[in-house]
Homo-oligomer: A and B are copies of this chain.
Amino acid sequence: MITLRGVSHSFGGVHALAGIDLDVDEHEFVAVIGRSGCGKSTLLRLVAGLLTPSEGRVEVAGDPVVKPRRDVSFMFQRPALLPWRTVLSNVLLPIEVFGLSPRAYRDRAHELLGLVGLGGFEQRLPHELSGGMQQRVSLCRSLIQSPRVMLMDEPFSALDAITRTELSEELQRVQLELPRAVVFVTHSVDEAVLLADRIVVLSPRPGRIHELADVGLPRPRALGQVELDQVSRELRGLLGEVTA
C-alpha cells in the first residue's frame, strides 16, 4: 500500500531523513518509534504528500504521491482544531470538505466522541477543552474519514494510561473489523507492541530506518499480557543499541 524508496529529506541545512526504504502492506499496522527530533513526523508528512522528498520516491496504492489523497487520513501531532468550530463540527470537518452530508455523519460523530469519552462536550469550543480532550477530538476527526491508509502522529501522547489503554483497544477493534494500512508514531514501546504488526525504529539525524521486530502475536492483545511484556523488554534493549 505504501512504498518508500531511497527517500531523503532536508530542511534547508537540517538533514532530517536519509535513504529511507519502507513498505507497508494493505492491512498492515506499522508502528514507528524513535527519538524526539529524529524525523518521524517528517516521514509521515512525506507519505501524506504534505512534503515532497528531496530525493527518492513515495508511492501509495501504486501511485506516486504528489499531493494529499482523500483515502489517506493524517492525525497530526498537535490537535490542529479550528478554534471557531464546536467539537462536533470540528469532527465533521472532513465530511464537509469531502462534499458529503454532515447530517448523515452526525450520529457517527456522536458515537466516536462518546467512544473517546467526550460525550456531552459536542457543543463546546476547543479552548474549553483540556489538552488531552483536544487530542481526542482530533482522533475522532481522523477516524470519521474511514480511509484506506491512516497516518497517526503520537495520537495518545497527551492521554493518561487508562484512556490510552481504552483507545488502544478501540483502535485494535477497528483494525480487526476493517483492516487498513496504518503508520503509527509512538513513544511507548508497550503501545507499539500492543498495536503493531511490525515495529520500525528511526535512528536520529539523519533519520534511517531499522526494522526491529515482527510482533507475531495473535489478536486481540491486551496490555499486561505476559508475551507482550516479553517482547517489550527485548525491544527496549534493541532500541537502546540502535538509538544510542
- Residues 134-182 (chain A) with a chain B CB within 8 angstroms: 135-136, 154, 157-164
Listed stretches A23-31, A95-103, A123-131, A210-218; interface member: A123-131
Q: Which residues of B are found within 8 Å of A14, using beta-carbon distances?
A: 128
Interchain nearest-CB distance for A77 vs B (Å) = 5
Q: Is A15 an interface residue (CB 8 A)?
A: no
- Checking B40, B129, B135, B189 against A161 with a beta-carbon cut-off of 8 angstroms, the contacting residue is B189
By a CB distance below 8 angstroms, the chain B residues around A220 are none
Within 8 A of B (CB), among A24-57: 33-37, 40-41
Least Cβ–Cβ distance between A232 and chain B, in angstroms: 10
Query: A78 at interface (Cβ–Cβ under 8 A)?
Result: yes
Q: Which residues of B contact A36 (CB under 8 A)?
A: 117, 130-133, 135-136, 158-160, 163
**Contact partners of A221 in chain B: CB under 8 A:** none
* A10 within 8 Å of B (CB atoms): no
- Distance of A164 Cα from B186 Cα, bound (Å): 13
Whether, in the assembled complex, A230 has its beta carbon less than 8 Å from a beta carbon of chain B, the answer is no
Q: Which B residues lie within 8 Å of A34 (CB)?
A: 160
The interface of chain A, by Cβ under 8 A from chain B, is 11, 14, 33-37, 40-41, 77-78, 117, 128-133, 135-136, 154, 157-164, 187-189, 236, 239-240, 243
Q: List 10 A-B contacts (CB under 8 A).
A: A35-B163, A36-B117, A36-B133, A36-B163, A37-B133, A77-B131, A157-B158, A161-B239, A162-B239, A162-B243
With A158-B187, A161-B239 known, 14 other A-B pairs at CB within 8 A are A14-B128, A33-B160, A36-B132, A36-B160, A36-B163, A37-B132, A77-B131, A78-B131, A157-B157, A161-B187, A161-B236, A162-B240, A162-B243, A164-B187
